[in-house]
Amino acid sequence: MENVLKEITPKSVDYSQWYVDVITKADLVDYAPMKGFMVIKPYGYRIWEFIQEAMNREFRATGHENAYFPLLIPEHLLTKEAEHVEGFSPEVAWVTMGGGEPLSERLAVRPTSETIIGAMYAKWIQSYRDLPVLMNQWCNVVRWEKATRPFLRTTEFLWQEGHTVHRTREEAEAETLQQLRIYQRVIEKELAIPVVAGRKSAGERFAGAVETYTLEALMGDGRALQIATSHFLGQNFAQAFDIQFLDEDGVLKYGWTTSWGSSTRMIGGLIMVHGDDKGLRLPPRVAPIQVVIVPIMRGAERETVLAYATRLKDLLEVKFRVRLDARPEFTPGYKYNDWEMRGVPLRIEVGPRDVANGSVVLARRDTGAKATVSWDAVESTVEGWLDEIQRHLFEEARQRLSERTVAVTDYREAARYGYRGFFTGDWCGQEACADQIKAETGMTIRCLPLDAHPMTGRCVVCQEDASERMVFARAY
RNA sequence: CGGGGAGUAGCGCAGUUUGGUAGCGCGCCUGCUUCGGGAGCAGGAGGUCGCAGGUUCAAAUCCUGUCUCUCCGACCA
């Protein structure tokens, strides 16, 4: 235990340092030699692949197809939608040289792809029969951020961005909400992270959007993380890019567009929601290794133990992602700590005792619980325990979310909780009140929850009539 | 962009005050003994001290310039 503390700074000592220790020691990422960039190592990238697989399943089931659009966007396209360019221009990286020559028009490294995709959609769409257009792309984007943290805010990050065009406003609005719920399903089911779904206030909206919907998650330190967003863009981009179609009634009309995105930031959320002082705790559904087998190879029994462990691996890897850790240079104790740091949900210890008894020892990463199980029951027990761990991690996070969500009638009450947690209260809808909260407390309106209604009808800032219920918090 | 801190072996650091030709822990390599919660012993490899100038017989150390990282703040879907 003392040795663990040497490697990972306890959360209670320094949460930021704990986070950095965990992601580097668990072998998820390494810092690149340029500020704000990171390398996602195989173990971390595998988690991303599980997220991709789950999202792709949902996207396909709702009629979306994957495509790929260019990395670079000519300046004249990026600047077509006024609000959009104003929102993004401060953080755009530009390419000004090519082949040793200055370019006649500089090219933006995409910070998001509404503009280039909008330009292409305008070419492709002629008739109402061409609609809806439902595409998604997996790619990298670059935003020149001043303060960066691995996964949570990096200069370059990986994400998916969906872009759709619809014939009617209603259809586009339905799409926006459908995709939000897809995100919610994947994030809650696969990543075991409970979220609050809501609308963004005008001040927090995506640049160029009519309405932005968001999922907000609560991290282990009580700060909020925006974990996915879905935007109803109205006809703003359709008008800027001439996305028009001839409708059934013979009238030329603008399409209604949406865009929605989720990024590697989700992995940051995963770490901060489930991790503990021993390191990562991965939900089984996204764990690159679900079961690690550690053989205890003493003296003369070494061969029989290894054979037993290998048979166990063969048995289990039919249904689960299994690793047999037979490295001779490390002791079992070292391996336990090592795999716990990496968040492997389930460990199986097999030693001479187990070989003799025809049993194995199972140990859970989430609770630390151990049990001795007979060979015949191993497979079913592993399956049951993995399900149970997935459920337990979600339940634990859900409970923390509900415990740390506090209803207030005055925003100053949040001071009692050190501005940690989600605070809900009524809001008059005026930006001045939101600004006051931010200036005084550092908290922002995370969202206007979809199914909540005002409780008192009084704004938590000005005490005037309030028509909205909001969730506010300090955010990453 | 403002303020602080730091660049010496893969990682973490000492050495800089008072110049004298680089060291410790972990890790790594080899061998033997080990293995039910971070093993032990022995031997070994590895560094133009961020970079560029300058002072000096001599620079990790003093001077000048420069680059980078990091924390706090500001900014930021």
ipTM of the complex: 0.86
- Distance from residue A441's CA to nucleotide B73's C1', rounded to whole Å: 14
pLDDT tens column, A27-84: 898 887 777 888 899 999 999 999 999 999 999 999 999 999 999 999 999 999 888 8
> Of all helices (H) and strands (E), which one includes residue A77?
helix A75-78
Q: Which residue from A333, A338, A345 is spatially nearest to A288, judged by alpha carbons?
A: A345
- Distance from residue A446's CA to nucleotide B73's C1', rounded to whole Å: 22
Residues 6 or more apart from A455 whose CB is under 8 A from it? Answer: A407, A426, A469
Overall average pLDDT of the A461-466 stretch: 95
Question: Sign of dihedral through CA atoms A355, A360, A365, A368?
Answer: negative
pLDDT tens column, A127-162: 999 999 999 999 999 998 888 888 998 888 999 999
Overall average pLDDT of the A375-392 stretch: 98
- Distance from residue A236's CA to nucleotide B64's C1', rounded to whole Å: 56
- Cα separation, A80 vs A237, whole angstroms: 9
- Distance from residue A36's CA to nucleotide B55's C1', rounded to whole Å: 39
User: Distance of CA A347 to CAs A304, A324, A336, Å?
Assistant: 20, 10, 8
Q: Dump strand ranges (E) for A368-435.
A: 370-374, 405-407, 422-427
> Across-strand partners of A470?
A425
- Cα separation, A315 vs A378, whole angstroms: 9
Contact (CB, 8 A) for A472 and A429: no
A170 burial (CB, 10 Å; 0-12 / 13-18 / 19+) is exposed
A6 pLDDT tier (thresholds 50, 70, 90) = low
A2 pLDDT tier (thresholds 50, 70, 90) = very low
- Cα separation, A321 vs A83, whole angstroms: 47
Overall average pLDDT of the A6-20 stretch: 81
Q: Which residue from A259, A261, A207 is spatially nearest to A81, judged by alpha carbons?
A: A207
- Cα separation, A161 vs A229, whole angstroms: 10
Nearest nucleotide to A336 (CA to C1') is B37
- Distance from residue A14's CA to nucleotide B4's C1', rounded to whole Å: 19
- Cα separation, A344 vs A341, whole angstroms: 8
Which positions on strand B lie below 7 Å from a protein C-beta? 1, 28-29, 34-39, 68-77
Overall average pLDDT of the A154-183 stretch: 97
Longest dimension (CA), chain A: 86
- Cα separation, A162 vs A240, whole angstroms: 19
- Cα separation, A227 vs A446, whole angstroms: 11
Residue with tokens 């965990």: A22
Nearest nucleotide to A332 (CA to C1') is B35
Query: What proportion of chain A, given as a percentage, has pLDDT over 90?
Result: 80
A10 pLDDT tier (thresholds 50, 70, 90) = confident
- Cα separation, A17 vs A19, whole angstroms: 5
Nearest nucleotide to A368 (CA to C1') is B37
Nearest nucleotide to A212 (CA to C1') is B77
- Distance from residue A171's CA to nucleotide B46's C1', rounded to whole Å: 65
pLDDT at residue A306 in the model: 95
> Across-strand partners of A407?
A424
Q: Dump strand ranges (E) for A47-153.
A: 65-66, 72-74, 93-98, 101-109, 133-142
Say which range, A97-101, A115-119, A212-216, has the weakest mean pLDDT.
A97-101
pLDDT at residue A4 in the model: 37
Residue with tokens 């339905």: A174
Residue A5 has pLDDT above 50, yes or no: no
Nearest nucleotide to A141 (CA to C1') is B77
Q: Which residue's alpha carbon is at the shortest distance from the C1' of B37?
A: A333
Nearest nucleotide to A331 (CA to C1') is B35
Number of residues in chain A: 476
Nearest nucleotide to A279 (CA to C1') is B38
Contact (CB, 8 A) for A228 and A126: no
User: Distance of CA A414 to CAs A233, A268, A406, A408, A452, Å?
Assistant: 34, 25, 8, 8, 19
Q: If you write DSSP's letter for every residue of A126-140 in order, what string do you get? A: -BGGG--EEEEEEEE
Give the CA angle between residues A160, A161, A164 to the nearest 5°.
140
Overall average pLDDT of the A168-182 stretch: 98
Overall average pLDDT of the A360-378 stretch: 98
A439 pLDDT tier (thresholds 50, 70, 90) = confident
- Distance from residue A132's CA to nucleotide B72's C1', rounded to whole Å: 49
- Distance from residue A402's CA to nucleotide B36's C1', rounded to whole Å: 40
Does the bond joining A70 to the residue before it have cis omega, within 30 degrees of 0?
Answer: no
Residue A261 has pLDDT above 60, yes or no: yes
Dig out the tokens for A82 from the structure.
């006024």
pLDDT at residue A3 in the model: 36
Question: Sign of dihedral through CA atoms A22, A149, A419, A405?
Answer: negative
Overall average pLDDT of the A250-279 stretch: 95
Buried b (16+ CB within 10 A) or exposed e, A217-256: bbbbbbbbbbbbbbbbbbbbbbebbebbbeeeeeeebbbb
- Distance from residue A9's CA to nucleotide B16's C1', rounded to whole Å: 30
pLDDT at residue A283 in the model: 98
Residues 6 or more apart from A268 whose CB is under 8 A from it? Answer: A19, A149, A150, A151, A152, A225, A476
Dig out the tokens for A32 from the structure.
């690149």
Helix pair A375-403, A302-316: axis angle to 10 deg: 60
- Cα separation, A345 vs A350, whole angstroms: 17
- Distance from residue A312's CA to nucleotide B12's C1', rounded to whole Å: 39
Nearest nucleotide to A263 (CA to C1') is B77
Nearest nucleotide to A143 (CA to C1') is B76
Nearest nucleotide to A32 (CA to C1') is B69
Residue A1 has pLDDT above 50, yes or no: no
Instruction: Round the average pLDDT of chain A to a whole number and report it.
Output: 93
pLDDT at residue A12 in the model: 83
- Cα separation, A211 vs A232, whole angstroms: 5
- Distance from residue A267's CA to nucleotide B45's C1', rounded to whole Å: 38
Say which range, A64-73, A200-209, A242-251, has the weakest mean pLDDT.
A200-209
Helix pair A42-61, A265-274: axis angle to 10 deg: 110
- Distance from residue A329's CA to nucleotide B30's C1', rounded to whole Å: 13
Overall average pLDDT of the A78-96 stretch: 87
Dig out the tokens for A393 from the structure.
């991690």
Q: Which domains does chain A have, with CATH numbers?
A: 2-274 (3.30.930.10), 289-388 (3.40.50.800), 405-473 (3.30.110.30)
- Distance from residue A98's CA to nucleotide B63's C1', rounded to whole Å: 42
